[in-house]
Amino acid sequence: MNNSALKRLFSDRMALLGIAFILMLLTVSILGPIVRTDKSPKANKQFLELARKHPGFKSSILLLPRNIEADESVAYQWIFGFQQLNIEIPIKEYQLIGDSLYVKPWNSMDPNLVNGQLIYPLDFWENDFSDEMIIHRTHYLGTDRYGRDLLSRLLSGTWISFTVGLISILISLLIGLSIGMIGGYFGGRVDDIVVWLINVVWSIPTLLLVIAITMALGKGFWQVFVAVGLTMWVEVARIVRGQVLGVKEKEFIEASKAFGFSHFRILFKHILPNITGPLIVISASNFAAAILIEAGLSFLGLGAQPPQATWGRMISEHKGYIITGDAYLAIFPGIAICLMVLSFVLLGNGLRDVFDIKGENSSQL
């Protein structure tokens, strides 16, 4: 993409809005647990006493030392969350009396309660008790049915959507680009086979095909990448084939053949650079489709498995609350999906205008 194309793209306000939102979510995804209120692995810290608290709810947590050291790698903790080195107890209030700390926990059924309170001697903490042993949190979007911070779960789900979208696009490009270029360039019987294969796969509903592949590979994280990628190559192959059919008739391709250049060189050095525009546009559109497919799989329980946070599973877990006063538990992840998909659609529309893609060549079979 040259400088003039970039200027046209950034002059499109809607495309610019989509890019800004995508970059914001990408930043959140990269920073991971650093920007989350719940920094535990996969934002899965559960406090059943704090379940379904309203947005803006504030909680106080007492930290008790566990005398353990982190045994997870830095990379693992960066991606999934920091290992918890303290026992956390939600409390309503606390006070220091003499050499003891008296706390009133949310869990009124704790067998260690004395007159409704827990009592800890201050020397229980090796470095003496301080106010840092009690942390205060604000749950800006409230808590879910398990007492987990809803905003942290939403933020944790961003990297799932980005990762699934990115790897699925790479898989679909690898397969679709290869098949589409071979069919469009060689033509004849080879092209007939490619068209037949595209039509067969195209006739199968996408979600049903994804579910079938997922059931064959098993439910899990990496299986989603493969399943989504194996269903999205068809559209890439159609567009690539149509573009190659038009480009291969150009004079410079005929000249390349006359000079005796190999098919590989002609395909990847002369044809591929001339069809990158449509590829970029379809990649942005397919990214949005991959996010929707992943959300659908997670909603059905076939995506990344618990306790990993995914937006589709969050909707599935709280769909029963839509008709209650806690409908926001399912609405917030739904809004997140809509905004991310809309952002990629706006980006795709902006890229389409930049490359001035009409769609005639990309739709021919």
Q: Is 2 exposed, middle or buried (0-12, 13-18, 19+ CB in 10 A)?
A: exposed
| 150-363 has CATH 3.30.460.80 classification | no
Closest CA to 302 of 207, 231, 198: 207
**Domain segments of the chain as ranges:** 39-139, 150-363
Q: 145 near 156, Cβ under 8 Å?
A: no
**Other C-beta atoms lying within 10 Å of the C-beta of residue 363:** 10
Find the mean pLDDT for residues 318-341: 93
Q: What is the pLDDT of residue 75?
A: 75
Is the pLDDT higher at 186 or at 68?
186
Rg of the chain over Cα atoms, rounded to whole angstroms, equals: 27
Task: Give the other-Cβ count within 10 Å of 334's Cβ.
Answer: 18
The answer to whether residue 1 scores a pLDDT higher than 90 is no
- Mapped onto helix, strand or coil, the DSSP state of residue 343 is helix
pLDDT at 323 over 80: yes
d(CA 326, CA 129): 38
Contacts by 205-212, CB closer than 8 A, 24 or more apart: 206/231, 206/293, 207/293, 207/296, 210/293, 210/296, 210/297, 211/297, 211/300, 211/302
Mean pLDDT (whole number) for 311-326: 92
Both tokens of 10, joined, read 């950034």
At residue 316, the pLDDT reads 94
DSSP, res 137: E
Average pLDDT, the chain: 87
Question: Per-residue pLDDT tens for 39-86?
Answer: 998 899 999 999 999 999 999 999 888 777 766 777 777 777 888 888
pLDDT digits (tens, 9 = 90+) for 354-365: 876 554 443 333
What percent of the chain stands above pLDDT 70? 92
Per-residue confidence band for 272, with pLDDT thresholds at 50, 70 and 90: very high
**43 Ramachandran zone, left/alpha/beta (phi>0; psi -120 to 50):** left
pLDDT reported for residue 195:
94
Q: What is the pLDDT of residue 127?
A: 62
Q: What is residue 143's predicted lDDT score, i.e. its pLDDT?
A: 96
User: What are the pLDDT digits (tens) for 117-160?
Assistant: 888 887 777 666 677 788 999 999 999 999 999 999 999 999 88
pLDDT (tens digit per residue) in 249-260: 889 988 988 888
Q: According to the model, what pLDDT value does residue 11 have?
A: 67
Residue 26 has pLDDT above 70, yes or no: yes
* pLDDT tens digits along 307-318: 889 999 999 999
| Mean pLDDT, rounded, for 241-250 | 91
Average pLDDT over residues 278-292: 91
Q: Are 10 and 16 in contact (CB under 8 A)?
A: yes
**Angstrom distance (rounded) from CA 136 to CA 5:** 49
Return the percentage of the chain with pLDDT > 90, whole number.
Answer: 47
pLDDT, residue 295, reads 92
pLDDT confidence of 224, banded at 50, 70, 90? confident
pLDDT at residue 51, rounded to an integer: 94
The 10 Å Cβ neighbour count of residue 225 is 20
